[in-house]
Structure 1
Amino acid sequence: MTTNNIVNRLSKEKSPYLLQHQYNPVDWFPWGEEAFEKAKQENKPVFLSIGYSTCHWCHVMAHESFEDQTIADMLNKDFISIKVDREERPDIDHIYMAVCQAMTGQGGWPLTVFLTPEKKPFFAGTYFPRSRKYNRAGMVEVVAQLAGKWREDADRVREVGEQIIQETTNRLLEHQSGGELTEESLHEAFRLYESTFDPEFGGFGSAPKFPTSHNLSFLLRYYKKTGNERALEMVEKTLDAMHRGGMYDHIGFGFSRYSVDSEWLVPHFEKMLYDNALLLMTYTEAYQVTGKAKYADVAEQIITYIRRDMTDVGGAFYSAEDADSEGEEGKFYVWTPDEVELVLGIDEGDLFSELFDITESGNFEGHNIPNLIQTTLASVAKRKQIPLDQLKQRMEEDRAKLFEHREKRIHPGKDDKILTAWNGLMVAALSKAARALDKPAYAEAAAKAADFLLRELRREDGRLLARYRDGEAAFPGYVDDYAFLVWGLIELYETTFELRYLREAVQLNAEMLRLFGDEEKGGLFFYGSDAEQLLTRPKEIYDGAMPSGNAAAALNMQRLARLTYDAKLSQAADEQLQAFAGAVASYPPGHALMLAALDFAYSEASEIVIAGDPAKPETQNMLRTVQRQFLPNALLILHPPGEEGEEVRKLIPLVQDKMPLGGRATAYVCHNFACQAPTQDLEDLENLSNIR
């Protein structure tokens, strides 16, 4: 995105998104007091543009408007222009997105907001073309009209901004109504999920369809709790359909952000770290519940993609890959039959194209997104009279050849910044996969990422930071950073049993409560008391593409309180559920992770202690017996001998009297505050631990 060789202020930033605009003729400022002071001194309104580096329509608007000299001249003359990366500053994005939704009834990116010099919004929208089209006002007319209104009556514009902020503040706070949640909310959520379920293609509602894997994870817990087969059917139908569709990259693995159609065929091609982390968790859990190898296969393929393409040399994970390459959305990912034949030969190419729906007419703008919506390996094997195992091996060899060929194409842009929150989710996902699939390498990858975050994304005083790139960590961490990293550290402890990760989780959780807690109404604010104080201080409870930090914190606190016997933390965990009870009860399906926390709270407490030397095979066999099961509401603890065991007893009091018997590894299964007789038999352990 270049129009000249002169860089603007954004050239000094670390954000890949801001750097994409460093050559724009627009006189951009990063968010900061310098910009707003200049706006006040010159009595100019502010043009605020918020987006992210892999956003397709952000690229379109940049090319049409921000690279256009005419629009740049208009903005430079009458406005102070500010660019914000929503992934670096979700606090700013959160507030002004709420403004846009309140004013227009919708939101999205790019987010376009016009502000007074006091940061108060008076006009908002999303994508604007250069000139009027698609029944949308154009930037040329919008900028001219708003500049005129400011010149004519700036005081009136300020009054409008004041009213909008008041309405937005009320809107952001209206969801917090306390009370008591009951298990009925779990059943109501199930009924509402069922009512919106798409029986043909899976998922919920109509196009566009997002994976929202936390909804599926809730349904797996509901199935575990109730034995209701319909919950499992909805999960499997959706997971199968998403994987068969074009939203899944059948050549290089990993999931795109969402599908623009109801059958999961055409994705919005960007790949986000958080989506793949959450989907990795859900496919792993589906494997634990069903034992079906296909879910383990998808989980391992996601990990292959993440470790191959999205892992920094230091072990942490990059944020996203773009939808566009060479200026075209999806160009990197699509094929023609001729291209496939060129790589595989005619006969093998025809077979691969038949299986993956690659045709002359195409299924996406004259090209083809590989998918398995209408075909399966089994159906093609039967039709071609090829043994299924042989066909599977051939198709994998063909896929590898096509992948190598695709690697020579011009790749989409990669946003290589490291976000604490999204990395916390991937640490959690890899830890779960390491346990369920018995793959120590996955635990090593999770530990390496966690160590990077704990080392590089904390200030000297211990304050967690939100973003790392090019040697610089910046921005005080948000509630999601704390909550998701604590989640990851708890999962990592239950995988590696390295006590330091649990200690870090306890410490970070305490700091989160101090920095983000609302002593008056309960719950956690989105940004900390020590961060830049914006127009209002919101709380997020609704699960969108990612679950809310408040919900993750509720589940974390339930788990940590039960592990540490900390009465104050137990009270805080209960208060966290109560703080948002009204919102959750009003629409349970919008709060899947909070429902998981509620399920944990209402389930009879279960703890499994393995007392034994972790270096001995008998101890490892016991741990693996438990780890491969789907036990979302149980806690697994290793009580080793010696000094290490003493340290465990200090942090986790419930292991005090649980020792190896006769020098052999011994399992203690406690359920509903009563412990069963200790056992050294693996079959007994499996039966005792696998409880609803």
Structure 2
Amino acid sequence: MNENIRTNKLAAELSPYLLQHKHNPVDWYPWSEEAFDKAKAENKPVFLSIGYSTCHWCHVMERESFEDAEVAKLMNDTFVNIKVDREERPDVDHIYMTVCQMMTGAGGWPLTILMTPEGKPFYAGTYFPKYSRGERPGIIDLITRTKEVWQTHQAELAETADDISEQLKNMLPTTDDASISENIFRKAFHELAGTYDEFHGGFGTRPKFPVPHNLLFLMKHYRRSNNDEALQMVVNTLTRMRLGGIYDHVGFGFHRYSTDAKWFLPHFEKMLYDQAMLLNAYSEAYLQTKNELFRKTAYEIIEYINRDLLSPEGAYFSAEDADSEGEEGKFYVWDIEEIREHLIGNVELVSELYGIEENGNFLEEATREKNGKNILSLKDTIAHYAQSRDLDLVELNSKLENIRQILLVERSKRIRPHLDDKILTDWNGLIIAALANAGKIFADEEFIAYAERTYSFMKSKMFTPDGGLYHRFRDGIAGIDGMIDDYAYTISALIELFSATAKSDYLADAIKLTDYLLEHFLDPKGGFFFTSDLAEKLIVRKKEIYDGAIPSGNSIMLANLVKLSKITGNTAYVEIADKATKAFAASVTAAPSAYTSFLLGFDSLIMQNGEIVIVGTEPRSEFMKALFTELKSSYTVIVKTPGNSLLLGEHLKNNVAIDGKITAYICNNFTCSEPISGEEEILAKIRDL
């Protein structure tokens, strides 16, 4: 590469997204005091652009505007320009995304904010083309108008920015010490049922997102109310997603979302957090239904992340891009000639099964015409296909696996989409918990080993000297103060690891991180702030409760606190959890289906389900494997061992094995039942819970 190629201040950053922009002619700064000091010194407004490295429309805006000399000159003359990777700085992103939604009624990435040198916003939008198109303003017009208004009406802009900042502070969840009624579960179910697509599964029309925590809530609702409709919604949604084009039928794993209602035409990026949460959803759905397709899907997700997202250090990278060679989805689609060339003798079978057409099977978004490319998608399950044609299912599956392997090899010769190779603590916490849970449900030791391996990396690299967490690791360097999601997801992962292995170190670390969170993130009025009291001071210190693409840290911590209270006997944890429900009661009650992960934690808080304490066996014994594959209730399972007994609550200390047999105690409200001895007797009791 020519060493004289111009670079800006992003060249010294670690973020793959920021590094994508290091050669832009725009004088980008990272989020820093230096940038804001420059804006103050030169009395310039700030142009804040937030995105992430696998964002398709971020790439489009870069090509159209940020690589354009004319646009760059205007931006450099008018603004101090700041680039932010939303995955590195979710604290910054959450604040300004809220501003965009508040000002425009919508949001998305790339996120564009114009603000004062103090970081107070006065204008918000998302993608801007170079030139205005119809109702959508172009970036040249936006810059020209902003420069004029800044020079002539700066005081009014500053006043607007002050007002918006005050509105932000007033948007914090109310803390009116209200309570949440148990009717909330029915209300949430009916809201979800009202948007449920009974033909294609999922919720709403288009675009359609997986939202796995909605499915986990519906499974919990099914268990608590015997509502078969709730379970059927889950089964249909997971089945249709697995059959659709949103699933990568060649390399496995799920794409980000479907642009249509049928789960057919995806936005092709792949995110680690989607794989983690969908792994959890398919595992839990298998536990409820024993549906073999769900087991297969869970195993395939794990195969995908271990093949394509696993770092040499043993943790998982963040994402794969939608684009390759400047074209979205190019890596994943096929034309009929490729199928004929590589699958001689199987063209008719593959075309019929996966809907491959001569002219292509989908319309280009821009031209609304077919382009000869095909997305692999199933109309029905392989089992139903085999049955309808009187084919041997085992033989058909074997043939299809050989076909998949051929296509995978051929696809690997293409130019791959960009890999975002940063390691994020929160997303790795999600996948650790999902792997440990899958290991229990499928009685698969390898999955638990993967989870332990990844936590071993986190333990060695992601803890700060004072016992907190870093958020990001890349190129051997850990950095950025951890935020609530980092702590909440890691604590959840540790609780799952303790459940799977009974190792005291995992429980001890969960307790230490929880106590650190209580010291530095807790709002005395209830709930947790998004950032630590030691972190950089932004224009507002937010408290997030909305369960969006991933559950909020407050939702996950609600469940964590309840579980830790049951395990350790520390009633202070459950008191803090109860206070959080009161603080967020108004928000949750107003729109419960927007807080389904929070409701999972609330259910744990108010239900009497406690602990199942097992004594007299090893954590991964054949008996424990059998127990986990049978347990469908919300009880917390604890295998008591000499190594972990000191960390357990006083109500569990006297639980011992009877007559040398495996013994179980069912505990509720810090009181345990009479002992149940014998493997069959215990399993029979477990099935009835």
Alignment match, 2:627: 626
Alignment match, 2:405: 400
1:161 Cα offset (Å): 1.0
Alignment match, 1:88: 88
Determine the C-alpha separation between the residues in 2 that align with 1:583 and 1:207.
Answer: 26
Determine the C-alpha separation between the residues in 2 that align with 1:383 and 1:221.
Answer: 34
The 1:4/1:20 distance shift into structure 2, 3 A limit, reads farther
CA deviation string 1:615-646 (max 9, x = no partner): 8xxx71331222113445211111224xx2xx
1:77 Cα offset (Å): 1.1
What's the secondary structure of 2:621's corresponding residue?
helix
1:503 aligns with 2:501: no
Alignment match, 2:297: 298
* Runs of at least 5 residues in structure 2 that lack an aligned partner in the other structure: 365-370
1:301 Cα offset (Å): 0.4
1:435 Cα offset (Å): 0.4
Pairing partner for 1:659 from 656, 659, 665: 656
Alignment match, 1:353: 351
Pairing partner for 1:566 from 565, 570, 578: 570
1:375 Cα offset (Å): 3.8
Alignment match, 1:133: 133
Deviates more, 1:100-109 or 1:677-686: 677-686
Pairing partner for 1:530 from 528, 531, 534: 534
User: Partner letter of residue 151 of structure 2?
Assistant: R
Any conservation in 2 of the 1:649–1:655 contact (CA below 8 Å)? no
The 1:258/1:176 distance shift into structure 2, 3 A limit, reads farther
Any conservation in 1 of the 2:559–2:601 contact (CA below 8 Å)? yes
User: Partner letter of residue 126 of structure 1?
Assistant: T
1:350 Cα offset (Å): 2.3
1:322 aligns with 2:327: no
Determine the C-alpha separation between the residues in 2 that align with 1:4 and 1:231.
Answer: 61
User: Partner letter of residue 462 of structure 1?
Assistant: G
Determine the C-alpha separation between the residues in 1 that align with 2:2 and 2:341.
Answer: 35
The 1:585/1:476 distance shift into structure 2, 3 A limit, reads same
Any conservation in 1 of the 2:219–2:285 contact (CA below 8 Å)? yes
What's the secondary structure of 2:155's corresponding residue?
helix
The 1:551/1:558 distance shift into structure 2, 3 A limit, reads same
1:326 Cα offset (Å): 0.4
1:437 aligns with 2:442: yes
Determine the C-alpha separation between the residues in 1 that align with 2:542 and 2:494.
Answer: 26
User: Partner letter of residue 626 of structure 2?
Assistant: T
Deviates more, 1:156-165 or 1:425-434: 156-165
Determine the C-alpha separation between the residues in 1 that align with 2:504 and 2:647.
Answer: 11
Determine the C-alpha separation between the residues in 1 that align with 2:217 and 2:423.
Answer: 28
The 1:463/1:611 distance shift into structure 2, 3 A limit, reads same
* Runs of at least 5 residues in structure 1 that lack an aligned partner in the other structure: none
Task: Give the structure-2-normalised TM-score.
Answer: 0.96
Determine the C-alpha separation between the residues in 2 that align with 1:134 and 1:300.
Answer: 48
What's the secondary structure of 2:50's corresponding residue?
strand
What's the secondary structure of 1:103's corresponding residue?
helix
Alignment match, 2:682: 685
1:420 Cα offset (Å): 0.6
Any conservation in 2 of the 1:355–1:376 contact (CA below 8 Å)? no
Pairing partner for 1:381 from 386, 389, 392: 386
CA deviation string 1:66-123 (max 9, x = no partner): 0000000111112110000000111111111111111111110000011111111111
CA deviation string 1:27-65 (max 9, x = no partner): 100000001111111111111100000000000000000
Deviates more, 1:469-478 or 1:660-669: 660-669
Any conservation in 1 of the 2:504–2:647 contact (CA below 8 Å)? no
1:378 Cα offset (Å): 3.8
Pairing partner for 1:426 from 421, 426, 431: 431
Determine the C-alpha separation between the residues in 1 that align with 2:649 and 2:618.
Answer: 17
Deviates more, 1:624-633 or 1:557-566: 624-633
Alignment match, 1:648: 645
1:135 Cα offset (Å): 3.0
1:230 aligns with 2:229: yes
Determine the C-alpha separation between the residues in 1 that align with 2:668 and 2:48.
Answer: 55
The 1:630/1:217 distance shift into structure 2, 3 A limit, reads farther
Identity %: 44
What's the secondary structure of 1:474's corresponding residue?
strand
1:125 Cα offset (Å): 0.3
Any conservation in 1 of the 2:255–2:267 contact (CA below 8 Å)? yes
Determine the C-alpha separation between the residues in 2 that align with 1:219 and 1:608.
Answer: 24
Alignment match, 2:144: 144
The 1:139/1:4 distance shift into structure 2, 3 A limit, reads farther
Pairing partner for 2:553 from 549, 554, 560: 549
1:182 aligns with 2:181: yes
1:465 aligns with 2:470: yes
1:598 Cα offset (Å): 1.4
Alignment match, 1:576: 580
Any conservation in 2 of the 1:289–1:629 contact (CA below 8 Å)? no
Alignment match, 2:415: 410
1:387 Cα offset (Å): 1.5
Deviates more, 1:663-672 or 1:264-273: 663-672
The 1:608/1:501 distance shift into structure 2, 3 A limit, reads same
Determine the C-alpha separation between the residues in 1 that align with 2:36 and 2:670.
Answer: 58
Indicate the RMSD between aligned Cα atoms, in angstroms: 1.8
Any conservation in 2 of the 1:551–1:593 contact (CA below 8 Å)? yes
Any conservation in 1 of the 2:651–2:672 contact (CA below 8 Å)? no
1:440 Cα offset (Å): 0.8
1:340 Cα offset (Å): 1.5
Alignment match, 2:118: 118
Alignment match, 1:479: 484
Determine the C-alpha separation between the residues in 1 that align with 2:274 and 2:228.
Answer: 26
Determine the C-alpha separation between the residues in 1 that align with 2:577 and 2:160.
Answer: 40
What's the secondary structure of 1:690's corresponding residue?
helix
User: Partner letter of residue 201 of structure 2?
Assistant: G
Any conservation in 2 of the 1:432–1:495 contact (CA below 8 Å)? yes
Determine the C-alpha separation between the residues in 1 that align with 2:381 and 2:635.
Answer: 37
Any conservation in 1 of the 2:47–2:113 contact (CA below 8 Å)? yes
1:667 Cα offset (Å): 2.3
1:657 Cα offset (Å): 1.6
1:418 Cα offset (Å): 0.7
Alignment match, 1:513: 518
Determine the C-alpha separation between the residues in 2 that align with 1:47 and 1:3.
Answer: 28
CA deviation string 1:260-303 (max 9, x = no partner): 11110011110111111001001000000111221111000000
Determine the C-alpha separation between the residues in 2 that align with 1:580 and 1:677.
Answer: 38
CA deviation string 1:481-509 (max 9, x = no partner): 11111011101111111110111011101
Deviates more, 1:3-12 or 1:560-569: 3-12
1:488 aligns with 2:493: yes
What's the secondary structure of 2:47's corresponding residue?
strand
Q: How does 1:98-117 map to 2 (within 5 A)?
A: 98-117=98-117
The 1:203/1:176 distance shift into structure 2, 3 A limit, reads farther
1:539 aligns with 2:538: no
What's the secondary structure of 1:100's corresponding residue?
helix
